Amino acid sequence: MIKGKDIVIIGIQPWDIEIGSNCKNIAREFAKENRVLYVNPPMDRITKMKQKHKAKIQKRIRIAKGLETDLVKIEDNLWNLYPKDGIESINWISSHRIFKILNKRNARILSKNITSGIERLGFSDVILFNDSSMFLGLHLKDLLQPQMYIYYMRDYLVKVPYWKKHGEQLEPKLIEQADMVLNNSTLYAEYGAQFNKNSIMVGQGCDIDMFTDADNSIRIPEVFRSIPSPVIGYVGSLTTLRLDIEILQYVATQRPDWSIVLVGPEDEAFKMSALHQLSNVHFLGSKDSSTLPAYIKGFDVCMNPQLVNDITIGNYPRKIDEYLAMGKPVVATSTKAMQMFNQHVYLGHTKEDYVALIKKALSEHSAVRSKQRMAFAQMHTWENNVKNIYKAILTLNQKLAWN
């Protein structure tokens, strides 16, 4: 356990993001025993121009004008900083040399805002925890002079076009200068180890309590009354960047006696797909995150038909823990990151595998197996995840003789 430290978190997701965020959960766990400043990404010029009608951007404009405070207390020991000063939008620049010059300027602007927040809170000897901000984070170790600088990788962002453009050159430099690189995937840990010997796999957390139904109080939504069993379901964003439509189409056409239920927002490719023409495929749309356990409870088998590509191959799919916490049998695509689940999840490679494994999952399901799945998921709480982070920090402290 680490107690009484001052921790500054920077990243690519603001506190007021609508979706779940690993880093927000980690921040709350840190704040149980430490003081934490969570820094929103600074507003860039293009976002301000294109999204100025949105309430969140209007709030940031008011903060920039001094009409609202930039430092907000969220709860005990946890504050949120809205950087007052905007930065330039520079990722469109082709010249890597010019990008680096302007990126350093942007980092100085952010550093000035963070320093202001640190001083007002009376923070000292800070631990700087960088959640995936590979551009602005490149210079913050030099500019802020933290006691320890940690880079946290939970996505293979360098393979995403926006980040790849300049990130392939810059992220390795950031990883090299960090005191430690923490990862939620074995693949990411191996990638980081190419540039930093202190690249450590710390796993992943999940809101297990939210997906616990020990008292059988969760009610299956009424819509399931009109959907024939067995129900094979998926909860999450329906995006062709990460999901394999071909697998879904194959399962649905090969087994018309199974109902395929998809819960989540669709991208354009999903909206235009032939899945909408199949009578046994049910799109239930986007749902509030608080209702997702009820939809999972309505599934007989849960699935994660992940598309394997450079972006997804190392992903730790948080939804697997959510499925298992509900005691559900799960069929998922086999990847390196999924091997840690192989005793509790049916892993396949092909669309044919999915049909065979779903059939097997239906036939082998039992109360005993359900309890085993729930027990395994209970190991992946945010508390345990942050304990792993603390362990990694304390181990490094011993090497650095930090006290």
Q: E-strand spans in 293-345?
A: 301-304, 330-333
Q: What digits encode the pLDDT tens for the residues 323-371?
A: 999 999 999 999 888 888 999 999 999 999 999 999 999 999 999 999 9
Has residue 74 got a pLDDT over 90?
yes
pLDDT above 70: percentage of residues in the chain = 99
- H/E element holding 262? strand 259-263
- H/E element holding 380? none
Q: What digits encode the pLDDT tens for the residues 10-54?
A: 999 999 987 668 899 999 999 999 999 999 999 998 988 888 899
Token digits of residue 352: 């044919």
User: What's the chain's average pLDDT?
Assistant: 93
Residues with Cβ within 8 Å of 335's Cβ and at least 6 positions away in sequence, in order, are 306, 308, 312, 313, 314, 315
Has residue 73 got a pLDDT over 70?
yes
Quick one: pLDDT at residue 400?
67
Quick one: pLDDT at residue 336?
82
Global pTM value = 0.85
Residues 121 and 117: their CA atoms lie apart, in Å, by 6
Q: Which amino acid is at 55?
A: A
CB-based contact 218:199 (threshold 8 Å): no
Rounded (10°) angle between helices 161-177 and 96-121: 60
Strands 35-39 and 71-75: unpaired
